[in-house]
Chains A and B, each alone.
Chain A
Amino acid sequence: MTETAATVPAFSVRGLSFRYDHAPDCRWALRHVQYAVEAGTIVGIIGPNGSGKTSLLKLLMKLLHPESGEIRVFGKDIETVSPATLARRIAFVPQETPQLFPFTLGELVLMGRFPFHQPFAGWGWDAADDVRHATRAMHSMEIASLANRMMSDVSGGERQRAMIARALTQDADVLLLDEPTAFLDLHHQLDIARKLRQLNREQGLTVVMVSHDLNLASQCCDQLLLLHQGEIAAQGHPADVIRSDVLEPVYRCEVIVDQHPRSHAPRVAVPV
């Protein structure tokens, strides 16, 4: 991490409002959002469907543009940063990637080096350095032995690891993930969560992830951001957010919160 990265927040969001349509009657997807993501932390964005989680993530990645307010990335206005420059600081792991063409897992991971080949982004060879970065990232995600397998032939968990490996290959300081465990079974959910925490602890990677899994978020994140109808309903340490009096009005159901027997993080149960 650079010195600035340690002191300046990875993201600072001020007065952020966004909607998908400028029509006056259009609902706000996000309204007056004010938040800072400290560098080196794991932040979980939680909330019900349609609360603006994914919109916020996409705004942070400049995939969407705010209607008002500003987003600063390591102190710089995001609107002034070029896509390639942004990609060298922030890596995005989408929920799912279509596998329509026969790329190998290694080729996919190597694509993470794309932002480093500007302005000759189109042509050119993968330098030894690129291959080294990709190999390291695959080792880190423990998928190096699958490098030559077709992406369509690997399991869902391995595919998700490959997507994270590609993000690591970008050499970014921040990892943005959109429901990284959505389609995975328990074993693979745990596996991805542990990997993310390991990367955070050992390499100081800042992680921002959208998650529907409150228990996973509670155990895995340093900070939680609870969104409700486009506004921040609660924020702070998991113990301050994962509380029945906070969650019940947002999720509109009875929420029982106790303590996880092992991690002592707050644990959520919903009686049917």
Chain B
Amino acid sequence: MSNTHIPASTWPAGTRSGAGQSDRLMRHLSVGRWVIGVTSLAMSSLFIGVVCLAVGAESVAVGTILRIAGMVLQGDGDALESVGASSVILLQFRLPRLGLAFLVGSSLAVVGASLQALLRNPLAEPYVLGISSGAAFGATVGLLLGVGGTVLGLSVLPVWAFCGGLLSILVVYRISVTYRMLSVHTLLLAGVILNALFSALIMFVVSLADPTQAFKIMMWLMGTIVAPSYSTLLWLAVWLGAGGTVLFWLARSLNVLTMGEETSRALGVEVERVKKLIFVVSALMTGAVVSLAGLIGFVGMVVPHVVRMIAGADHRLLLPASALVGGSFLMVADTIARTALSPTELPVGVVTALTGGPVFMYLLVKRRAGVAV
């Protein structure tokens, strides 16, 4: 009943003749453009990854890296031993650490991009909105109660972080429901308050801990990437990959959602369902990221913004592109954190805040009053 397509002949005269021409002229996301965009970004991520592996206190030649990669792929253990220290440095320290950096960066960027569309706020991201600090609070409580034991390794810690993250997301959700047309700045203000609140709670909990543990928690809170075990990495990859897939699946709905909830509903989006799904997935992904890497800010805001300028606003390309660019960005940031003050290491959160903070300020100043609905 619904497909009462109007035959072309009933369209106003003169419109059909030009149609074929502008079919070609109209820019839209085609399969080809998507494949080219994602492939080229994946290639550059790989390239950046290899360069990051090579850089460090003990620099490893790119040739050696490729040789070791070949050996690993062939499962040649004896040959690996003959390479010596380089293979240990690469395979036990740099590679898992790089992998974690990539996963954390890409997850933060994808979650940031999704929240921006959902809240119609180009400055939204888990850190600024206080979702990360909520997750950190949850994880801190979990740590001190001795549930989960260590920050790394398979543990129930992410569950605590998820609960904390979900708690702050619920607050954000309440605010976004209360005000139908939320101003960009109201939401940021809510984030500031949440951040202050959770920081205070974290400080309170940490002050109950013994000094050694407190120091470890403080380092972790600043956002630190430490080489995880491969099993942790694999678990995280599956977890974040599943979350990312859900968000990719909703890409088209996200496109429509940027136009507002009423317009989305009028176009057939099941708004409430999509909204809840995105909030829960965001909390799950942020929880996993925070429990392993602490508070890493601004990646989720800066990366989608930059990608949008180049690749456009369509989330079908924006989300995978943000994942790749975000991953690359954090690989580079972590390499800087690792090497800038060698042998001392900086928390990677310091690097991202120092680069992302000024960009955030610039965006805040640049926003024209009329655009900030």
Q: Does B369 contact A (CB under 8 A)?
A: no
Does B267 contact A114, Cβ atoms closer than 8 Å? Answer: yes
Q: Cα distance A58–B263 when bound, in Å?
A: 11
Task: Report which of B30, B248, B267 forms a contact with A170, defined as CB distance below 8 A.
Answer: B267
Interface size on B, residues (CB 8 A): 56
- Chain B residues in 8 Å Cβ range of A84: 268
A87/B266 in contact, CB under 8 A: yes
Within 8 A of B (CB), among A83-129: 83-92, 94, 97-104, 106-108, 110-112, 114-115, 117-118, 121-126, 128
Q: Mark B310-337, 1 if CB is under 8 A from A, else 0.
A: 0011101000000000000000000000
The verdict on A63 contacting B267 (CB below 8 Å), with A88-B2, A140-B11 known, is: no
**A126 and B269 in contact, given A94-B263, A136-B19, A171-B5 (Cβ under 8 angstroms):** no
Cα(A90)–Cα(B266), bound, Å: 8
9-residue interface stretch from A144-152, A218-226, A248-256: A144-152
**In the assembly, what is the distance between CA of A139 and CA of B121, in Å?**
32
User: Is A148 a contact partner of B25 (Cβ separation < 8 A)?
Assistant: yes
Residues of B within 8 A of A128 (CB): 23
Interface string of A64-93 (1 = CB under 8 A from B): 000000000010000000111111111110
On whether the beta carbons of A121 and B268 are closer than 8 Å, the reply is yes
Check B27 against A106 for contact (C-beta < 8 Å): yes
Closest to B304 in A: A101
* Complexed CA–CA distance, A20 and B121 (Å): 27
Q: Could you say which residues of chain B place their CB within 8 Å of the CB of A114?
A: 252-253, 256, 267-269
Task: Indicate the member of A103, A112, A118 with the most B CB atoms within 10 Å.
Answer: A103
Whether A83 contacts B270 in the complex (CB less than 8 A), given A100-B120, A136-B8, A198-B12, comes out as: yes
**A89, closest chain B residue (CB):** B2
Q: B251 near A147 (CB under 8 angstroms)?
A: no
Partner of B267, one of A58, A82, A115, A148: A115
Q: Which residues of A contact B15 (CB under 8 A)?
A: 136, 139-140
Q: Report whether B248 and A123 are in contact in the complex, using a CB–CB cutoff of 8 Å.
A: yes
Asked if A38 CB lies within 8 Å of chain B CBs, one says: no
**Residues of chain B contacted by A125 (CB below 8 angstroms):** 29-31, 34
Provide a sorted-by-A list of 16 A–B residue pairs whose CB atoms are within 8 angstroms: A1-B4, A5-B4, A85-B268, A87-B267, A90-B266, A98-B258, A101-B116, A106-B27, A107-B29, A122-B251, A126-B29, A134-B26, A139-B15, A139-B16, A144-B18, A147-B25
Q: 11 additional contacts, CB 8 Å, given A101-B313, A170-B267, A171-B6?
A: A5-B4, A82-B268, A88-B268, A92-B262, A123-B249, A123-B316, A126-B30, A136-B16, A139-B15, A144-B26, A148-B25
